[in-house]
Amino acid sequence: MRRSTPSSSAIQRAAPVLLTPAAFLAVFVIGWEVLVRVLHVPAYLVPRPSQLLNSVPADIGSHIWITAEEVALGFVVANLLAFVSAIAFAQSRTLERGLYPIAIALKTTPLVAIAPLLVLWFGTGLASKVVAAALISFFPMLVNTIKGVRSIGADENELFLALRANRRDRLLRLQLPTALPYIFAALKISSSLAVVGAIVGEFVGAKAGLGFLILQSSYHLDSAALFVTIILAALLGFALFGAVCVVERLVCTWEQVEA
């Protein structure tokens, strides 16, 4: 009887994960092409997928790079600050009661309303876009990390108390490992929000980037270029989401064993 090697079994497990979305995407694109042709939808309303490749701007690479830089910096800054804040809140109820309402206020204020202020304070360059991406990505990490750190079971807590573990040991050896699934869930949410924040920042004031291209395409009623840019922005968020998933699989190995 032939035994499958670890590499072949990994390919067999990955095949449905990759092929199923690809098949649905192919059906969607074909259906889109057929419906637009059959219904004679004007190209300025909904272009055909076959028209999109011809509408890619020549300098699209530089625009993608600018937005990707804004997204990456905002994502990293937001999650680092939120993680540190969550650990501080989890250790001090007084600090949480004092500062947590401010975080909620920032979350509930629409980013579109804050974006003009960011341009006024930080200019139309990189800084305002990074701050916009960071503001919208901050809250998920803050909430999830606090929840994860406080989700330890009673038995585990009693064990560490019986071992007379200090606060640092409890944090590093119990609370943070327990909070890792919550942290990665927050990172997945923030990965898409960071793209939204950067794009909104570019809407208010920018000379380059995907958000700038979206505005430019809408002003010229170039729906094909508009669709292309929106798809590229979505793919940027998807790439960051996928990177977080890869890191999660490398770090949270025990979840794969349980599954």
Q: What CATH number is associated with residue 115?
A: 1.10.3720.10
Better-scored residue on pLDDT, 230 or 253: 230
Does residue 248 surpass a pLDDT of 90? no
Q: What is the pLDDT of residue 83?
A: 93
* Residue 56, SS3 per DSSP: coil
pLDDT of 175-193, one tens digit each?
788 888 899 999 999 998 9
Q: Provide the domain count of the chain.
A: 1
Burial 10-48 (b: 16+ CB within 10 A, else e): eeeeeeeeeeeeeeeeeeeeeeeeeebeeeeeeeeeebb
Assess if residue 46 is contained within a domain: no
Q: How sure is the predictor about 54, in pLDDT bands with cuts at 50, 70 and 90? A: confident
Rounded to whole angstroms, how far apart are CA atoms 132 and 121? 12
Assess if residue 153 is contained within a domain: yes
- Taking each helix axis from N to C terminus, what angle separates 111-122 and 176-204, rounded to the nearest 10 degrees? 70
Assess if residue 13 is contained within a domain: no
Residue 59: what are its φ and ψ, rounded to 5°? -100, 30
Query: Rounded to two decimals, what is the model's pTM?
Result: 0.82
> Which of these, 65, 205, 61, 184, lies nearest to 131 by C-alpha position?
205
End-to-end CA distance of the chain: 27
Q: How sure is the predictor about 19, in pLDDT bands with cuts at 50, 70 and 90? A: confident
Does residue 259 surpass a pLDDT of 50? no
Does residue 206 surpass a pLDDT of 90? no
Assess if residue 127 is contained within a domain: yes
Q: Give the mean pLDDT of 8-32.
A: 72
Rounded to whole angstroms, how far apart are CA atoms 165 and 12? 45
Does residue 81 surpass a pLDDT of 70? yes
Q: What is the pLDDT of residue 184?
A: 93
Does residue 14 surpass a pLDDT of 80? no
**Residue 83 domain boundaries:** 61-258
Assess if residue 38 is contained within a domain: no
Assess if residue 173 is contained within a domain: yes
Assess if residue 35 is contained within a domain: no
Assess if residue 108 is contained within a domain: yes
> Which of these, 195, 198, 106, lies nearest to 143 by C-alpha position?
106
Which residues, 6+ apart, have CB-to-CB distance to 50 below 8 Å? 33
